[in-house]
Amino acid sequence: MSSNVTIYDVAAASGYSLATISRVLNHPEKVKPATREKVLKVIEELGYRPNMVARGLASRKTTTVGIIISDITRASVAEMIGGIMDISDTYDYSIKIFQIHDEIQVKDVMRNVVAEQVDGVLYLNDELSEAATEEIKEVLKQSNIPFVFTNVINEDKNTASVAIDYLKAAYDMTRTLINQGKKHIYLLSTARRYTVNIAKEQGYINAMQESGLEPMVFRTSGETSINEVHFKEFFQNKPIDAAIAVRNSIAVSFMNVAIGKGYKVPEDIAVASFQNTRYAVLARPKLTCIDIPVYDIGAVAMRLLTKLMSKKTKDVGNTKIILPHNIIIRNSTN
């Protein structure tokens, strides 16, 4: 429960005052090199580590960042957190995770993140309504907690964010298929209207309409087994020669059903997807997909947040970051 040795012990053992010990840790340049050495030596000997809670109270900085997520078991969420943590480690920030499964919890969870005194927030939850999202922004602003939207689209020019251009990504992917001569291209999206998926849909629609083709969005649940049922109903002799799924799991599920029905992939139906997870590579055939740098999104967001938190300079530069994406062609398309 307690790291026994405190700053008092270091002070006593070194013959200096609390203030000096604190200074060698927090403002080493303000202390004479000789005494700095001595103090450091005593700290080392005693194995002293400042109690972060006490430090947090006194300095009003907890060096802790809150991450607000929907569901940690989503591969992209976990991957983003991986990117976040690798950066937060180098900056010596701790990470605290808050999940919001249901909009009912918004108020409560937000009170919590405020009460926890986090220095900043990374907002990764893309499953909430716009109203709920705005409410969260409001709380954060009122509490003066810097935050960045991480892989969550937010129009507001003033809210820091990092994402990729999903609209363009979808557009590019659709164009690629159109250029291969595909005409009946479906978009397989989710029933729930995640902000990123809305952007993907728009990009797809733009590309289709631009070529005089009819956009067809098919919505399915995120749950794997339900997908299959949906997809089976789907194959009632509709003309289709390509499909773009917003997620790997949807793409693979679709592909399996199609192949089960006797279609050949990619000859009869080309299949493409977003993200580049292990599903894409473990699928047979391997999936053509848009490579979304999920890890980087997390890492870049965390780095941006550190700038926002150390508001020494008002000029943190651009706070609306778009990371590049690219298309990886594999065997599920020609």
Buried b (16+ CB within 10 A) or exposed e, 119-151: bbbbbbbbbbeeebbebbbebbeebebbbbbbb
99 binds, among a copy of itself, DNA, none (CB under 5 to 8 A by kind): a copy of itself
The correct pick among 35, 143, 202, 206 for binding a copy of itself (CB under 8 A) is 143
141 counts as binding a copy of itself under rule CB under 8 A: no
Minimum Å distance from CB 157 to a copy of itself?
Answer: 23
The reply to whether omega before 285 is within 30° of 0 (cis) is yes
Q: Residue 78 or 114: which CB sits closer to DNA? A: 114
> Which alpha helices (DSSP H) does the chain contain, by range?
7-14, 18-26, 33-46, 52-59, 75-90, 106-115, 130-142, 166-179, 195-210, 224-234, 248-260, 278-282, 294-309
278 binds, among a copy of itself, DNA, none (CB under 5 to 8 A by kind): a copy of itself
Q: For residue 306, what are the CA distances in angstroms to 46, 53, 87, 280? A: 31, 20, 10, 33
| Strand 326-328 relative to strand 288-291, pairing | antiparallel
Applying the rule CB under 8 A, the residues between 33 and 72 that interact with a copy of itself are: 47, 49-54, 56-57, 60-62, 64, 71-72
Q: Residue 43 or 208: which CB sits closer to a copy of itself? A: 43
233 binds, among a copy of itself, DNA, none (CB under 5 to 8 A by kind): none
Answer for the pair 247, 274: CB distance below 8 angstroms, yes or no: yes
Per-residue interface string for the shown chain with a copy of itself, residues 230-269, x marking contact by CB under 8 A: -------------------x--xx--x--x----------
Applying the rule CB under 8 A, the residues between 292 and 311 that interact with a copy of itself are: none
Minimum Å distance from CB 309 to DNA?
Answer: 14
1 counts as binding a copy of itself under rule CB under 8 A: yes
The correct pick among 18, 131, 229, 282 for binding a copy of itself (CB under 8 A) is 282
Looking up tokens 């870049």 gives: 300
Radius of gyration of the chain (CA): 25
Minimum Å distance from CB 3 to DNA?
Answer: 7
- Compute CA 93 distance to the chain's CA centroid, rounded to the nearest angstrom: 17
136 counts as binding a copy of itself under rule CB under 8 A: no
Selected range binding a copy of itself among 8-16, 37-45, 75-83, 314-322, rule: CB under 8 A: 75-83
Contacting residues toward DNA, per CB under 7 A? 2, 6-8, 15-23, 25-27, 30-32, 34-36, 48, 50-51, 54-55, 57-60
Residue 284, amino acid: R
CA 266/CA 276 separation, integer angstroms: 18
Looking up tokens 């679709």 gives: 254
List the Cα angle 49/3/114 in 5-degree steps.
80
229 counts as binding a copy of itself under rule CB under 8 A: no
The correct pick among 38, 46, 94, 198 for binding a copy of itself (CB under 8 A) is 94
> Which alpha helices (DSSP H) does 143-234 contain, by range?
166-179, 195-210, 224-234
Q: Summarize as ranges the residues that interact with a copy of itself (CB under 8 A).
A: 1-3, 47, 49-54, 56-57, 60-62, 64, 71-73, 75, 77-79, 81-82, 85, 89, 94-99, 111-112, 114-117, 119, 143-145, 224-225, 249, 252-253, 256, 259, 278-279, 281-284
